Chain A
Amino acid sequence: MILEEAISFLKKNPPFQLLDEPVLKDVAHSLSMEFYPKDTVILKQDGPPSEAVRTIKKGSVKILMKAEGGIDSIIDYRGEGDSFGFVSLIARDKQKTTVIAADDTICYTLGRDKVLKLIESRPAFAEYFMSHLTRYVERTFEEMKGRSLAYSGTDRLLFTTPSGDIAKEVITVPEDTTLQEAAQVMAKQRISSLIVLNKNNVPAGIITDRDLRRVVANARNVTDLVKNIMSISLIRVDANDSCFDAVLKMIKYNIHHMIVIKEGELKGIITNHDLMLLQGTSPLSFVNDIEKQQTIEDLVNVSAKMNTIIGLLLQESTKAGSITGIITEINDRLLKKVIEIAEKKFGQPPVPYCFIVYGSEGRKEQTFKTDQDNAIIYADTQSAGAEEEAEKYFSALAVFIKDSLVQIGFASCRADYMASNPKWRKPLKRWKEYFENWITSPTPEAVLKSLIFFDMRPVHGKFSLCNELGSFYMPLIAKNKIFLGHMANIIVKNSPPIGFLKSFVVEKSGEHKNEFDLKLKGVMPLNDIIRLFSLESGIKLTATLDRIGALKTRHPAVKEYHNELVHAFEFLMMLRMHYQFEQIKERRPPENFINPDQLSNLEKKTIREVFHLISKMQGTVVEMYKPLIV
């Protein structure tokens, strides 16, 4: 019965569920069961490699990594059915993360030998582990943090770059070269490996730094020949395979060098180091691709890769903030490119203008392709005739931009919040009137509709127009508390979907029966609360995480719950993106509804905490705006 219980557990959880019954039984026989009281350090960063893969039977663990300054940051949580410990197990390298029991935790443990055997004999099993491994390959938190999104130049994607493109020229030596000679060649060429050719000039093996270390360690004679110590199994990758494939193979075979074959010929060699350099760069090669395009049609083709890239980012990355940052960067570039093409088509504008975005785009929080929220502010004109002329120009420009963006995959806004709508294409003085009107004589309706404009951000043109507008309305807000009171009312009315006894409140009928709207009930209330606090404090930033950061020193509620707010927001965004990515993979349009039954226990627990935090913040808002709450 002990064994049966283990087998039925394995059947439910990847990667074990990929195994067939007899293998599963055999695996279960090799399992042992461990118990870790809450807060036990199970694996320690920079400690010895993990000697087993552990799968959580009950409880949960948190995974931490040292950031700059040596402070541990939580980068992941694992819950029931999840596994950990395979990266260092396979790499036989130092443990890369610290794993701590977040609850009293019971794990099924499978020893290293058994895991390696399974990886060798069961391709599906290996595949699963490899796909997980790549998330962590030689990546450090510092690197991630230090890496600027604006970094560009020659960077390219790990996933799309053919390995042939980064292969270095191979240095070869005949098989009867002595070890000393080989070492001298390596030292002179500053390389870490040599390919050994046999008598027929065919690659027969490789010798690497590692092999030479062994030579020294074993006090072998340096006059010995390379053919006696070289590794004979030459693991190779085709020049057309992506670098990603190369990384997988390196991990699989635990090697640091790999030869690249092109059309049957030795093309070159790639090293672990080359791949790391490549991986250290951002998806901005994609951005470079965008820059090169000249027509809308070309942009459509390029942007088709977007969702795949986000998917890969999701697999790779741990922080929602960096993913949405990259998405924003890419979307901005697409938008700028479209505007450039438009300007070429319609000529230079009669007056300076600024193309702005707002809503999630303004907050730099776009996930998968969202709809358009944009507008045009143009400089005030001297005469009515000049304004008419400007309007004519910007009308044509805006409509072209809208249609192009639709073609590329950004749906048009259902509420018509786009520059193509004459209402949102105005000279600066009109925009000032809009804001003045919203702020000084607010109605609940108008405030609700205006909210997204307070997240506006310039993307193209004369940024000073947008900034001037901001400097105009910020002081107005301070003088008109009633406006903020209306915002507070909107926030308070949107209560989190947690019912009595902590159950989730879900839709009772319709298409989304038993689901709740993660955007409406989670992301939006947080956005709204943080926006309110920011406007109160005169903060001009738009991204929610940036705003939270700026509020930390200025707002008492944010000061107290700073970390919680950041984690809550990160968690919601990450959950949403993962869900949407699954939907896209299943070729369904991405949406925001989630069935709480499909969440893991850990996710449920976390999301309850998030909702609890939202209620707490709403409480603060009620307290502050009591006289204005209706």
Chain B
Amino acid sequence: MLTGFFSRKNTPASQSIGDAEYTVLDTELTGLDLKKDSIVSIGAVRMQGARIDIGASFYRLINPANGMDLTSVLIHGITPSEVEQKPSIDDVLDELSVFCGSSVVVGHFVSLDINFINKELKRTGRKNMKNAAVDTCKIYEWIKSNEGSFSRHYSARRDALDLFSLAREYNISFDEGHNALSDAFITAQLFQRFLSSLPGSGVKSIRDLLKIGKA
């Protein structure tokens, strides 16, 4: 049956962050209301330690059960007609589960994505996803606070925590526009930057990583 994130063992907490496997994911939603809104698309890329697999990406458009809010169409640019022919969320979640396996899930404000995924899982009588999950925004904030007094200008920029502002700060090139896969790719590159500097700040294992960035 399901071999993905519901059943398999999680990444051991003692594993080095440079060796662990990660799934960096992002979803586009019809809106932010967990009760009313639903997932329109899911994008994800895999990482082997700090290496992003170019060939292993996941992108599915979903036919939302609740129909689409027209204002959200403006944000993600996915129109109702585009998703009508697409598979239902149930099928997509099965595939996503296989894609994630037992890897550590990574995302920018990823709790939101996970909440929506779990809501759908629950609706179909399944258990929540068990994967360890870290939030790149939290890691970013930790890194900044860890740099502490050395970067006083940080407080002035505190409001800009969205993915694109961070991407700009880290010199990651991207095309504007909200697409779950391209956003996941940007997030992966951001996470890649973090992975290169974290061991120097004492964050070496998955346990350490969860301490500073657990979603």
A interface list, Cβ under 8 A from B: 1-3, 6, 28-37, 40, 58, 104, 108-109
Contacts and interface: CB of A to CB of B under 8 A. Distances in A.
Contact of B55 (A1, A30, A36, A58): A30
A305 to B, nearest CB: 46
Nearest to A3: B54
Contact of B54 (A29, A37, A40, A58): A29
Contacts of B57: 2-3
B197 A37 contact: yes
B71 to A, nearest CB: 25
A35 B47 CA distance: 12
A58 B173 CA distance: 10
B108 to A, nearest CB: 17
A31 B54 contact: yes
Given A1-B181, A2-B181, A34 B54 contact: no
Contact of A31 (B55, B171, B185, B192): B55
B54 A28 contact: yes
B171 A1 contact: no
Nearest to A36: B196
A28 B193 CA distance: 22
23 contacts: A1-B181, A1-B182, A1-B185, A2-B182, A29-B54, A29-B55, A31-B54, A32-B48, A32-B51, A32-B53, A32-B54, A33-B51, A33-B52, A34-B50, A34-B192, A35-B50, A35-B189, A35-B192, A36-B196, A37-B197, A40-B196, A104-B171, A108-B54
Nearest to A110: B54
A35 B193 contact: yes
Pick the 4 closest A-B CB pairs, nearest first.
Answer: A29-B55, A31-B54, A32-B51, A33-B52
Contacts of A58: 173
B185 A2 contact: yes
B209 interface: no
A3 B45 CA distance: 11
Contacts of A29: 54-55
B179 interface: yes
Contacts of A40: 196
Nearest to B179: A1
A28 B54 CA distance: 7
Contacts of B181: 1-2
A352 B101 CA distance: 89
Contacts of A31: 53-55
Given A2-B181, A2-B185, A35-B192, A109 B55 contact: no
A32 B54 CA distance: 5
B183 to A, nearest CB: 11
Nearest to B171: A104
A75 B117 CA distance: 53
Given A35-B50, A104-B171, 17 more contacts: A1-B185, A2-B45, A2-B54, A2-B57, A2-B182, A3-B54, A31-B53, A31-B54, A32-B52, A32-B53, A33-B52, A33-B192, A34-B52, A35-B189, A35-B192, A37-B196, A109-B51
Nearest to A25: B55
A260 to B, nearest CB: 43
Interface string B148-192: 000000000000000000000001010000010110010001001
B52 to A, nearest CB: 4
Nearest to B55: A29
Nearest to B195: A35
Nearest to B196: A37
A35 B185 CA distance: 13
Contacts of B45: 2
A34 B51 contact: yes
Contacts of B185: 1-2
Contacts of B189: 33, 35
Nearest to B46: A32
A1 B173 CA distance: 14
Given A1-B181, A2-B185, A104-B171, A35 B196 contact: yes
Contacts of B48: 32
Nearest to A29: B55
B55 A3 contact: yes
A3 B189 CA distance: 15
A33 B53 CA distance: 7
Nearest to A37: B196
A32 B188 CA distance: 12
Nearest to A40: B196
B203 to A, nearest CB: 15
Nearest to B191: A35
Contacts of B179: 1
Nearest to B184: A2
Interface in B40-88: 45, 48, 50-55, 57
